[in-house]
Amino acid sequence: MGIGFSSPVVRLTHVSKTYYRDRQPVPVLENITLTVESGHYLALMGPSGSGKSTLLNLMAGIDRPTAGRVEVALQDLGSMPDRELAAFRARNIGFIFQLYNLIPVLTAYENVELPLLLTRLSGKERAKHVMTALDVVGLTDRKDHYPRQLSGGQEQRVAIARAIVSDPTLLLADEPTGDLDKKSEEEVLVLLRRLNQEFKKTIVMVTHDPKASATANRIIHLEKGVLVAAPE
């Protein structure tokens, strides 16, 4: 695993996002300016409908801003052509979903390998990356298991291995403990803390859970699409 990125990993400048419903504008984010420095672990909190997941999707390049600028690793995501953006995301952004998003017919190993199939790595090089990622999450002994043969906590750890297998610059997590029991939640939070502290991964996590947010070294709050607090 790499040691991070020297400049601010995320820089949002006057970012707004509006969707349309029957031609009626529905503003979701309004004039968000935010910087996430390399190696920081940021928790993004707020009530349902506050725009947290939308903001995370903009950082991931899954969505594009209506106005403003979204930079990740010094690249303006909003101005990138789709193909270039997809390649950039594969190299630089790992995404952890609440419901894991594993493919049921693939083993843990094959699920983790998926992002690497978009790269030019050889089969031998891919295998080394996959086994390293599975080792980090403590699941090398489950590499041949299918998702249905794993607990929820183990599925999420496979999903985390998939997110880190390409050694991304930025790790994004959308309610990563929201579907887990207490024991599995603690295991995942310990793992995220380790990725930040030991492997120097820059992490932005959306969460409703104060226990999860307490593992971060910075917390910000969104309410009705507006950044209402950004304590250092």
Tokens 């295991």 belong to residue: 187
Distances (CA, A) of 1 to 75, 130, 199, 225: 22, 12, 6, 34
The per-residue pLDDT for 98 is: 86
pLDDT for residue 25 is more than 80: yes
Structure-model confidence comparison of residues 73 and 2, the more confident one: 73
pLDDT score of 95 more than 80: yes
CATH number reported for the structural domain that contains residue 156 in this entry: 3.40.50.300
CA angle in degrees (0–180, nearest 5) for 211-151-186: 20
The answer as to whether 146 is a domain residue is: yes
The 10s digit of each residue's pLDDT in 50-77 is 999 999 999 999 999 999 999 999 999 9
Secondary structure of 13-65 in HEC code, one letter for each residue: EEEEEEEEECCEEEEEEEEEEEEECCCCEEEEECCCCCCHHHHHHHHHCCCCC
Cα 15 from Cα 18, distance rounded (Å): 10
Per residue, the 3-state secondary structure of 66-128, as one string, reads CEEEEEECCEEHHHCCHHHHHHHHHHHEEEECCCCCCCCCCCHHHHHHHHHHHCCCCHHHHHH
Q: Residue 1's pLDDT band (boundaries 50, 70, 90)?
A: low
Average pLDDT, the chain: 92
> What H or E segment, with its residue span, contains residue 146?
none
Residues of the chain above pLDDT 70, percent? 96
Q: Residue 42 falls within a domain, yes or no?
A: yes
> Which secondary structure element, helix H or strand E, spans residue 216, and what is its range?
none
For residue 181, tell me if it sits in a domain.
yes
Q: What is the pLDDT of residue 37?
A: 95
Question: What is the domain range of residue 137?
Answer: 38-61+80-219
**12 lies in some domain:** no
The domain tally of the chain equals 1
Phi-psi region of 4 (alpha: psi -120 to 50; beta: other; left: phi over 0): left
The answer as to whether 229 is a domain residue is no
The torsion angles phi and psi of 188, rounded to 5 degrees, stand at: -70, -40
Residue 15 maps to a domain: no
CA 100 to chain CA centroid, Å, is 12
Q: Given this model, what pLDDT does residue 232 score?
A: 46
Q: Is residue 189 part of a domain?
A: yes
Residue 118 forms part of a structural domain: yes
pTM above 0.85, yes or no: yes
Write the pLDDT tens digit of every residue in 110-155.
999 999 988 888 999 999 999 999 999 999 999 999 999 999 999 9
